[in-house]
Structure 1
Amino acid sequence: FIPNAFTPDGDKLNESFSVKGYGITQIDMLIFDRWGEKIWEGHQLDDSWDGTYKGKLVENDVYVYKIKVRDVFKKWHDYIGKVNVIR
């Protein structure tokens, strides 16, 4: 499951962006701003983006993700999409 929005606003609900799924054994996640600058990356199964860049919360906007996941059969799956940051 890849959400299309999250709300890093301190209310303890939907505070970060992460991928959930059965059988994922490896993951590579990249987040880009509207100008194509990479603003976050994660490579661990429990990594999640908290909506910050260089220690500051990003603006309400649409960000692009590129995600590669490896399944239990050692097959890679690529996903490219958008996530909304709403505060």
Structure 2
Amino acid sequence: YEGWPEGVQEYLVEKLDESGKVYFSQSVAKNLDYSEKGLDTNEQIIHFRVKGISNSGRVSYSNYFEVRQKGEFYMPNAFTPNGDGLNDICHAEGLFIKDFSLEIWDKNGAGVFATNSFKQGWDGKINDLPAPPDVYMYRAEAVDKLGFVYKLSGTIQLIK
């Protein structure tokens, strides 16, 4: 900040969530050199601002800089519902997903699983009985918090 006769004590880069709450603050050099490393998986829209603190304690804020991150969405191609705790559930993975649907069919086109819950996956059972090892077809659709739509379709192999 220019204009404080007493000078600048410190600059802070602040990250604010979608509601405007500061959830990260880091002191930076007076030349305001700052770089972001890696994807922030907590917020799809991140607002940055600089907070300047004068040597006498006055505070000034910069304008906001908004970063919009792309969502991610993908499905596995195989799972092993054998109770060993590894890949027992076939479920979608992703970031910033708001709405979701998943349908799975057997090779004859009969529906074996459907959900609208992103946290719910298929446990490899049909009518509470273990499904046979086979290749199953799926169609999944997700919408992220910014309204972008992701559509996937393909096959999942159930391995025993």
Provide the TM-score with structure 1 as the length reference: 0.95
Structure 1 residue runs of 4+, over 3 Å off? none
Alignment identity in percent? 29
| Structure with the greater alpha carbon radius of gyration | 2
What are the ranges of 5 or more consecutive residues in structure 1 without an aligned counterpart? none
Q: Render the CA deviation track for 1:16-61: whole Å, top value 9, x for unaligned.
A: 0001111111110000000111111011121110000001010000
Per-residue deviation, residues 40-84 of structure 1 (Å, max 9, x unmatched): 101112111000000101000000010010111112221111000
Are 1:41 and 2:114 matched, yes or no? Answer: yes
Query: Which residues in structure 2 correspond to 1:65-84 (within 5 Å)?
Result: 65-84=138-157
Match of 2:77 in 1: 4
Structure 2 unmatched runs, 5+:
1-73
Question: What CA RMSD, in Å, does the superposition of the two structures yield over aligned residues?
Answer: 0.8
Count of matched residue pairs: 87
Q: In structure 1, how many angstroms separate the alpha carbons of the residues matched to 2:106 and 2:82?
A: 19
Please point out which of 60, 76, 89 is paired with 1:16.
89
Q: How do 1:49-68 and structure 2 match up within 5 A?
A: 49-68=122-141
Distance in structure 1 (CA, Å) of the matches to 2:94 and 2:84: 25
